[in-house]
Homo-oligomer: A and B are copies of this chain.
């Protein structure tokens, strides 16, 4: 039989990151391509004790169907923490537990975006989100990102020039893939621009707690007096991604619609991950765990930046993140990092070409994303040394 796929999905392909991950799975390859958190800090033994406790003492709660909104004590614990840590949550807001931050983004898109509606994205942006928008045939409009966040003049121009602008998607803190953070002034201005133009903001904040120096910039959601901000959170980077656990905090009406969407998507999030997260949040010290993670990533990032200072050609631009998992580079010289990735693979190093994160993924770019969260210090340094050779030869050659 000849299969005809839906218009929305017929042009969707596997992400370039997935292809690169095939090389990354080879243990002799130094992978600076991933976005996986450091596994050595997963509180596996504690979670194991909790799992056996629940399955033995609360078998029905652990294994029977749950409610679509999420396990109520977990929702309450997340709400309490969101209020305390991020000053998020008004009487107008509600919270739904989702099967990883990705599901929150997909549900919001399904519930809000018609084919052809414009979704404004930072350029570069997270491919999981841009692909979710593409999968509903949204029109993507990109806004360049500077070291203090979106270029707001460009944003206003994009709003003026596009029809049916429904939503602005932003990762304001330790942005994926750039590692930069939007200034508090720009956050306030972005909020006012969205309000003035009747556009919703989807604020995605999976990395916000991974601040190296402890400094936290107020979330856009914490400024939301009008009910225009949807906030997507995740346990993937502060607990463990294999649990597939995230949450969406948004105006009640939107969460009510997302609940209906989630009922259709997967009925509810698996109970055991929800119970583990609830017990960990309420009986263990997740803040102490996060402090350890911050120190670990700060060290890894500093290691990578030192190596880049030492081994990269002098005129390569790169960001200096104050948190998160990624560094962004621009090689300039009209180089194509898609082509250079093949040369890097010959030297057994992988990174993600910048085109992956762009609205037009087919257009060559001189940019790339580097990740420092899973490799040893030695591998980070050696990987950067080899990339320095590849890039140096390309620039001089």
* A contacts, CB < 8 Å to B: 1, 3-9, 12-15, 18, 36-37, 39, 42, 44-45, 47-49, 51-52, 54-56, 59-66, 68, 99-100, 102-103, 106, 110-114, 128, 131-132, 135-136, 198, 200, 226-228, 236, 240-245, 251, 253-254, 257, 259-261, 263-273, 276
Total identical chains: 2
Chain B residues positioned under 8 Å from A260 (CB to CB): 9, 12-14
Q: How far is the CB of A53 from chain B (nearest CB, A)?
A: 8
Q: Among B39, B131, B259, which residue has its beta carbon within 8 angstroms of that of A60?
A: B39
Closest to A272 in B: B272
Q: Among B18, B60, B106, which residue has its beta carbon within 8 angstroms of that of A42?
A: B60
Q: Please tell me if the beta carbons of A242 and B55 are within 8 angstroms of each other in the complex.
A: no
Say whether, besides A56-B44, A111-B9, A243 and B265 are in contact (CB < 8 Å).
no
Q: How far is the CB of A377 from chain B (nearest CB, A)?
A: 19
Chain B residues positioned under 8 Å from A114 (CB to CB): 6-8
Q: Please tell me if the beta carbons of B242 and A64 are within 8 angstroms of each other in the complex.
A: yes
Q: Please tell me if the beta carbons of A253 and B65 are within 8 angstroms of each other in the complex.
A: no
Q: Among B55, B242, B259, B264, which residue has its beta carbon within 8 angstroms of that of A44?
A: B55
Q: Please tell me if the beta carbons of B39 and A264 are within 8 angstroms of each other in the complex.
A: no
Q: Please tell me if the beta carbons of B263 and A14 are within 8 angstroms of each other in the complex.
A: yes
Q: Please tell me if the beta carbons of B39 and A64 are within 8 angstroms of each other in the complex.
A: yes
Q: Please tell me if the beta carbons of A42 and B56 are within 8 angstroms of each other in the complex.
A: no
Q: How far is the CB of A74 from chain B (nearest CB, A)?
A: 13
Q: Please tell me if the beta carbons of A267 and B100 are within 8 angstroms of each other in the complex.
A: yes
Say whether, besides A39-B64, A60-B42, A132 and B9 are in contact (CB < 8 Å).
no
In angstroms, Cα B227 to Cα A62, docked, is 38
Q: Please tell me if the beta carbons of A8 and B102 are within 8 angstroms of each other in the complex.
A: no
Most chain B CB within 10 A, of A1, A68, A227, A271, is at A1
Q: Among B47, B59, B136, B243, which residue has its beta carbon within 8 angstroms of that of A270?
A: B243
Chain B residues positioned under 8 Å from A51 (CB to CB): 48, 51-52, 55, 272
Say whether, besides A9-B111, A45-B56, A51-B51, A244 and B259 are in contact (CB < 8 Å).
no
In angstroms, Cα B65 to Cα A72, docked, is 25
